[in-house]
Structure 1
């Protein structure tokens, strides 16, 4: 004998209201989802604003990277007025047009970058990176104190412009003054390199202190972007 099923309600009859236990379960779930949403809204901006762990541990490379990109903007602005990036040939033009009393010269990156304060630069901070030779941030005293010793962290390649080979390095840190070698200590074994085309990135420093590309130091005159002529390297004071 087949079992007799209980009578089923017609399909158009509304479902019975949930019982007390179902209502409690639904309320608990709603509270959990609401609390989770509030936590997510609070924490998301904090998480997104934090740099990666390694950057939080050593913020100096991050600041160097930000500053060197600003240097490129200043170089382009300077070129729009004087036809090239700052070098020995632009000194008399800058002096003639601006009447600046700044001490301009061609023996260091400090001196060449100083030309930009006569026209397009307004802060020393963009020329700073924390290196062995520039451990403290600039004091922001301009005039005769503009980019004094220790206030510039970037080595500079003079004689370039935006029409130069786009892959030619134009500014970099932390170079050991008087050498082609980089100091591996400030940026955890890395160097920041700015190219003529505005790209900048960190490159590894090898065991001999060189940043290599194509099996050669980036400063090697055999690099195609130097076109057989060694770069005119200006180290910071």
Structure 2
């Protein structure tokens, strides 16, 4: 009787062991797929983000060029100081000066002000330009901007729009565009620059693009470091760890979700293949 009673137990143990093995296969496939797909998806997103920033900067350049044709200079303090200018649209940030484009009718949408990682607490523009207080609010613009320049006095290669800078000297965020910086020049050309360990852009000859703080010149007129305006972000008082978490989940939550869905689907397929083997006596 004991031998007969032990037969179902041995069968149960054997089947349980097989189910545990199948579960292990399921989890292993899940981990392997996530490990293989994760970096590829993140790299693809970063490449896509760089292309989006380049495209949007080109569209902004058209509006900036039209403004220059109207006034003889790009948005800046000169336009704010004119008799019929825009004194209310000047300040510390690029957002402040870009509002001159709206007032002058050179642009009507916030869409092209987006560049990933340009501001620490970033969000997609909400499209609300019903008033200048709502246009390109803090966090909706990702481009740093060099104000008070024009097309006639400055060398065409002088930087005009930059991404993604984070408001610390001439440092760029190395995690956004695969360790590269995006710079649009006065002539509308877009270049990518490698970043060094100090997060600063490197010129073609290997020197720091903004290395000589006092003699940064591109042709006829010197580059004034004080004219560099960063994008405005809303919550500068938050601890850096909090900003890091918000930036991480804001940019990569969708990627992680997609990787998990794909890996789960592959794991289900692998699990189904082992099911028949598991249920075999």
The structure with the largest helix share of the pair is 2
Whole-Å separation in 1 of the counterparts to 2:188 and 2:222? 23
* Matched ranges for 1:148-159 at <5 A: 148-159=137-148
Q: 1:138 aligns with which of 112, 118, 125?
A: 125
What is the Cα-based RMSD across aligned positions, in Å?
2.3
Question: In structure 2, how many angstroms separate the alpha carbons of the residues matched to 1:65 and 1:87?
Answer: 22
Structure 1's unaligned 5+ residue stretches are 1-52
TM-score w.r.t. length of structure 1? 0.69
State the TM-score, normalized to the length of structure 2: 0.59
2:109 — aligned with what?
A: 123
For these two proteins, the number of residue pairs brought into alignment is 181
> 3-state DSSP class of the match of 1:79?
helix
Of 220, 224, 228, the residue aligned with 1:230 is 224
Higher relative CO (Cα under 8 Å, sequence separation at least 6) belongs to 2
Find the structure with the greater CA-based Rg: 1
Aligned to 1:216: 208
Other-structure match for 1:200: 190
Q: Is 1:191 matched with 2:181? A: yes
Note closer, same or farther for the CA distance 1:156–1:57 as it changes in structure 2 (3 Å cut). closer
2:143/2:163 contact within 8 Å kept: yes
Q: CA deviation at 1:179?
A: 1.6
Gaps of 5+ in 2: 1-40, 233-281
Alpha-carbon distance in 2 for matches of 1:170, 1:229: 10
